[in-house]
Amino acid sequence: MADDYGKVRIEERLKIKVGEAKNLQCRNHVSLQRDVYCTLSLDQEEIFRTSTIEKTLSPFFGEEFQFEVPRKFRYLSVYVYDRDRHLKQDKVLGKVAIKREDLSQYNNKDHWFPICPVDADSEVQGKANIKISFGDVRNLKNKSSSYSSRTQLKVQIVECVELTLKNGSCDPFALITAVYSNGKKVTKRTKTRKKTVSPKFDEEFYFCNYDEREKERDSTYTVCGDCDIEISELHVSLWHDTPGMSVDVFLGEVRIPLREAQQHKPAHNNAWYFLQPRSGKNKQNTCSTPPGTRLSIDNSLGSLRLQVQYTADHVFPSHVYDSLRSLLLDSINTKPITYSSVYLLGEIVSSKSDMAQPLVRIFMHHGQIVPIIRALATAEISNLTDPTTIFRGNTLVSKMMDESMRLIGLQYLHKTLRPTIDLVFNERKPCEIDPARVNDPNTIQSNLANLTCYVQRIFQAITQSAVECPALMCQIFHNLRECAMIYLPENKEVRYSVISGFIFLRFFAPAILGPRLFDLTTEQIDSQTNRTLTLISKTIQSLGNLVSCKSAPQVCKEEYMECIYRKFCTEQHIQAVRQFLEIISANTSSQHIMPI
């Protein structure tokens, strides 16, 4: 086991929900509102971008992003931008930056963060590999050919990695400055490396601490002839070359103290240094507040609501988990299931989603996902008193069903929904039917026609896709239906509602509402398209309830949705839904369910 600890790997994951911003500062000119979007970055590398919310100072985003962390990072940053319709470059309003070590403080909790100004000098990332060595040189002291021994510093910037992109490009060069104990400085410059964030420099630079005229191309310095003078510090700064501009763009710097090192004359070989923000005394006098932004009296740029979940799992070699894996898999044979390790984990762990994901992957890998869901579902249904609440809670089995459908049915989902989702994005037709949300009430009828067309296309795509539903999903649905019919025999509609609650409410409707989370699109979602998808999702969710007579009166919650609901609350549509549910819950194997 001791050797296994040395083989541990760390898998990091981030899940961020960008909620909303409030109290953003208005523009200085006539158009007071802003078109706002956010970008999510690890250090300065953009990972995701939200949709743009137009004409508001309090945008609501409600978008969630999750991903495996690809590399080490120091800051998780969310930048808030104002989209500029006329200029090529949008204006950054501010940012929220959280240190990696501080992420646990906000884990899985909504938190309002103050939006801070973006200081260009602090927007740095990357590392520099610097070689430093000292050596003695002999220089001519007087006319009698007497020589004295002085120290010489040799510096090489071997390479840099992960530098910041500036406006989509990076043409880096380095300035190497030797700072002497008498305050004098000598600066030398590398050649510019074009179009790279990981430049390699093959140049060596020498600095001496005796009286010498530096005959470099960029500048000329006299150091000093005093024998007590030495090189006290080395500054290495990286810059993005901007020909034709007044100043180059700062990328970061490294400051290495050398006074003690010079006395002992060690060799520093291939040391890596994180680039740091520009020190205060060297900052240029530039305003950190972006153009078009006015600070309020308390210098506030507004605030941003985020929910951050950061996990770092320490993973051992597979065989270390053999006993745990066997214990979990044995849950299928444990009678009753409520005594099993899987069930007990579901009772203990507060986040059922976090538990469901690995469990589903384990049981799917071993071909046991159908029996474990059947066993857990039977235990839940057998204790149910109200059929209308069947699988409506966030229980372990419902979360395992969600994860199973997503893993098993992703291709099926894409084939069924993507044609219409693509059409919605391409046409961008208005579909708003809420009178409180439209400027001109006369547009409601045309908007209703657009919405009806999209809903009808998706309804037909779903109800005609039954034969495409994966066999594994069909077997799970069959078991759920049989369980419900055994324990709730007096309810004739439960054979449909137990399936529609999953396939419509927890599979199709969420995918329509958040197509980027289900890889149905990579496009940015503007506010109008987002509203269209919301209305379609609401309608499809309601159609899933058509098969239950008891739930039909509650299908339409908003009054303005009645007009679209009436178009689909027909016997023809009800029969189409029931037929679809019958087919996808048909038995796909010779194994029939028995009470557990």
Geometric angle at alpha carbon 461, from 571 and 505, rounded to 5°: 75
The structural domains of the chain, with segments of one domain joined by +, span: 2-118+288-312, 127-282, 320-394, 409-596
Structure tokens at 358: 């690995």
Low-confidence residues of the chain: pLDDT under 70: 1-6, 28-31, 87-89, 120-122, 137-150, 167-168, 209-228, 259-269, 280-299, 387-388, 548-556, 588-596
Query: What strand order describes the sheet that includes 204-208?
Result: 204-208, 147-161, 127-140, 268-274
369-382 and 341-348 helices cross at what angle (nearest 10)?
A: 60
User: pLDDT for 141-169, tens place per residue?
Assistant: 555 444 455 678 889 999 998 888 776 67
Return the pLDDT at 137: 65
- Matching residue, tokens 């006290």: 232
Q: Please, what CATH class does the domain formed by 2-118+288-312 belong to?
A: mainly beta
The domain 409-596 is placed in CATH, from the list 3.50.50.60, 1.20.120.140, 1.10.506.10, 3.40.640.10, at 1.10.506.10
Amino acid code (one letter) for 289: T
Find the helix or strand (DSSP H, E) in which 198 lies.
none
Exposure of 539 in the CB half-sphere (CA atoms within 13 A): 30
Distance CA 108, CA 324 (A): 27
* Residue 535 three-state SS: helix
Distance CA 160, CA 171 (A): 12
Instruction: Give the CATH number of domain 127-282; options: 2.60.40.150, 3.40.50.10480, 3.30.1330.20, 3.90.400.10.
Output: 2.60.40.150
DSSP labels, 279-322: PGGG------SPTT----TT----EEEEEEEEEEEEE--GGGGH
The pLDDT of residue 590 = 43
Decide if 2-118+288-312 and 127-282 have a common fold.
yes
pLDDT of 146: 47
- How much is the pLDDT for 67? 87
